[in-house]
Chain A
Amino acid sequence: MNDLIPMLSGSLGNPFELIDLPVDDWVTWFVDWLVNTFRDFFRSWVSPPVKTVMEGVQWLLTSTPPLAVLAGLFVLAWRAASWKVGVFAVVAFAFIGFMGVWDELMTTLSLVITSVLFCLVIGVPIGILCSRKDMTYTLVRPILDIMQTTPPFVYLVPAVMLFSIGNVPGLIATIIFAMPPTIRLTNLGIRQVPGQYTEAATAFGSTPRQILWKVQVPLAMPTIMAGLNQTIMLALSMVVIAAIIGAGGLGLLVFQGLNRLDIGQAFVGGLGIVLLAMVLDRITQGLGEKAPGSRASSDD
């Protein structure tokens, strides 16, 4: 009887002292194994395409005279959204240019464009697969949760170990972090297409593939565009973090500014990111509203 009280207050009362799960060791072991086994694979198969696209986009943006970039931007924003958005985009970009950080802007823009491109190329097909079979989505969903909720800092380390420092690990981290909305909203958009349209397409003898491409994907386009919009915003939010492992651009300005307590430089970088975010947001929102599938909302 007398022994019971110290037991309760000791190890029995606190079960956490009895078992010590060495998860940190396991993860260390796993990452070591991952890095040792796949480093060559990642460096020779994953890295080059990302790097090539990134360099291509960057070359295109930096070798084009700024005035031509502004003109192109205006046309894009005008066609995708409206002439007002076009004017806003040009003013915002010109302002960033006049702050003297045009090159950094172009680098960040190429980082965003590249990672979003990969998010779409990988995410949209996965989203479509998820919408076809409940089982697929059940499997993919926890992975998406992990991708979205793991703090990006956590996977910066393995990214660096796999890809060394520079733009590429930053891009990989950004792609992982920004892809979930594309998958989720592609899946959601296709599932939300009203049954009457797929029924009509079926009644006219369409194959499942025809139903997907002629009816479901176009009608899901506004939702897929909303996913694209979120993906772009997430990708932008990663550029500062990616700067820690050597990605360049506006994020690097902020990171260096904070390190050197150069508030002015950090602010310039931050303002640039905010303006870029607003421009990209307005353009992609316009795309969603102008997608032909958006007519579905006004139809009963």
Chain B
Amino acid sequence: MIRAEGVTKVFGPNPESVKSLLEQGKSKDEIQSETGHVVGVNNASFEVGAGEVFCIMGLSGSGKSTLIRCINRLIEPTFGKIILNDPEHGEMDIATMDGPTLRRVRSQHLSMVFQHFALFPHKTVLANVVYGLEVQGRDKAEREELGKKYLEMVGLGGWENHYPDELSGGMQQRVGLARAVATEANILLMDEPFSALDPLIKVQMQDELIRIQQELGRTILFITHDLDEAMRIGDHIAIMDAGKIVQVGNPEEILVNPKTEYVAKFVEHADPTGVITAETVALPFSDRYFNRVGEEAGNQIWNRTGYTDVEFHVDTNGHLAKMRCEGNDVALHELEEKITESGGAPERHTDAAVHCTTDTILKRVLRGRAYSELPVIVQDAEGRLKGIIDEPELIHGILEKHGYAQDD
């Protein structure tokens, strides 16, 4: 949908002059002390697919806000291409297009949500929401109909004629969001949209965004300094440090395999339970960790090494046929069913176990453990036994953000 190729922004009197220094791979600090030029963004490349939420995350001063402004040229990039794939016109380079084309692209393909909302204080909520449509030149009736529809979508139906200063911060950003989606642009640039909000409102707004995104399926470029936020809403995350993108990956990849020390430092304090999957933390079902202790009715019987009281009966297809604890058969349940059933205080079963798929997040697995004291069974999409998650795996997974297998 949109692709950045080597986007670079240098601030200073003669930005072009530092090109050779950048090519030599000099750092932001070196260039600043040698030439006085500030490198805002250094050779950033990434691609965002249609319908994807792509988070760019970094601390303040890492260049993320500059980068997102280079995409719609609120800031002119010094070097690089920004390729927009427009279904009507094919591939276009935003970085080199002329003024009128740029305005058309901004008005029809790229809309933006701002950190401090930037709602026009002299316009009503509805007039704010339809601003982009007004610029597009749509007639009044159509504007108002669309405006009301999107206000309704962000939960602000009935607030049309109020002014922004009569709304709370969270509500103002809902208006900001409605204004951005109302233009029906397929790409949404969001510059730390929830950073100025209270923590509780922030989480609410994230949920709201996820819900709206499910409904509309826009392509979103989302800037944030909050890793948990990026992990929650991003399909992919790019981490920026001193103007450079240091790692791109999906949330679990970033969490489990931080490439640089900088990324590792970020990840250290992130909450892994919403990101890490059962597959990552599970003790893999292999003869390295399990002992074959016999056979019964055509099924092989396995023990976890060192734990003889639980038996796993595996059939020839690799499915778990039966599970036994201290000689008694154990009932097997779907994890999600048991989570929804056990609403109140957990009654921990010793005669029942739950099974889940490999992509189940750690948070769900933990809930499953509240239902049963026995290990959680991890199965792949075909139902084959992939591994188990017992207390040691859970603890290790939460603390170290990866499984035992990766330690060896």
Contacts and interface: CB of A to CB of B under 8 A. Distances in A.
Interface in B56-114: 72, 74, 103-108, 110-112, 114
A206 B112 contact: no
Contacts of A298: 121, 165
Nearest to B182: A204
Contacts of A296: 121-122
Interface in B129-147: 131-132, 134-136
Contact of A295 (B108, B131, B134, B163): B163
Interface residues on B, range: 20 to 34
Interface stretch (A66-74, A76-84, A123-131, A194-202): A194-202
Nearest to B169: A300
Interface in A211-235: 214-215, 218-219, 221
Given A196-B114, A299-B165, A205 B104 contact: yes
Given A295-B121, A295-B165, A203 B103 contact: no
A292 interface: yes
A292 B122 contact: yes
A299 B164 contact: yes
B183 interface: yes
B216 interface: no
Contacts of B105: 205
B112 A295 contact: no
B107 A204 contact: yes
Interface in A242-300: 291-293, 295-296, 298-300
Contacts of A291: 122
Given A196-B114, A199-B74, A295-B165, A206 B103 contact: yes
Interface string B152-176: 0000000000011100000000000
A20 to B, nearest CB: 48
Contacts of A292: 122-123
A214 B103 CA distance: 16
Contact of B120 (A197, A202, A205, A300): A197
Given A205-B135, A210-B135, A295-B165, A200 B118 contact: yes
Given A203-B74, A204-B135, A205-B132, A300 B116 contact: yes
A295 B103 contact: no
B103 to A, nearest CB: 4
Which of the listed residues A204, A218, A292 has the most CB atoms from chain B within 10 Å of its own CB? A204
A130 to B, nearest CB: 22
A207 B118 contact: no
B184 to A, nearest CB: 12
Interface in B215-273: none
A291 B123 CA distance: 11
A205 B122 contact: no
Interface string A77-100: 000000000000000000000000
Contacts of B122: 218-219, 221, 291-293, 295-296
Nearest to B183: A204
Nearest to B134: A214
Contacts of A199: 74, 114, 118
Nearest to B108: A205
Interface string B340-374: 00000000000000000000000000000000000
A201 B112 CA distance: 10
Contacts of B106: 202-205
B135 A206 contact: yes
B251 to A, nearest CB: 28
Given A295-B165, A298-B165, A299-B165, A203 B121 contact: no
Contacts of A197: 118, 120-121
B224 to A, nearest CB: 18
Contacts of B74: 199, 202-203
A225 to B, nearest CB: 13
Contact of A207 (B103, B112, B132, B165): B103
Nearest to B164: A299
Nearest to B107: A205
A234 to B, nearest CB: 28
Name, among B105, B108, B116, B135, the residue most crowded by chain A CB atoms within 10 Å (CB to CB): B135
A292 B108 CA distance: 28
Contact of A203 (B108, B111, B120, B163): B111
Nearest to B100: A207
B112 A200 contact: yes
B103 A205 contact: yes
B121 A219 contact: yes
Contacts of A218: 122
A214 B135 CA distance: 10
A200 B123 CA distance: 13
A219 B122 CA distance: 7
Nearest to B166: A295
Contact of A293 (B103, B104, B121): B121
Query: For A205, A210, A215, A295, which residue has the most chain B Cβ atoms within 10 angstroms?
Result: A205
List the 4 closest pairs (A to B, CB-CB), nearest first.
A205-B107, A205-B106, A292-B122, A200-B118
Given A203-B189, A299-B165, 8 more contacts: A196-B118, A197-B120, A204-B111, A205-B108, A206-B135, A218-B122, A295-B163, A296-B121
13 contacts: A199-B118, A200-B114, A203-B72, A203-B106, A203-B112, A204-B111, A204-B112, A204-B179, A204-B183, A205-B105, A214-B120, A293-B121, A295-B122
Interface of B: 72, 74, 103-108, 110-112, 114, 116, 118-123, 131-132, 134-136, 163-165, 179, 183, 189
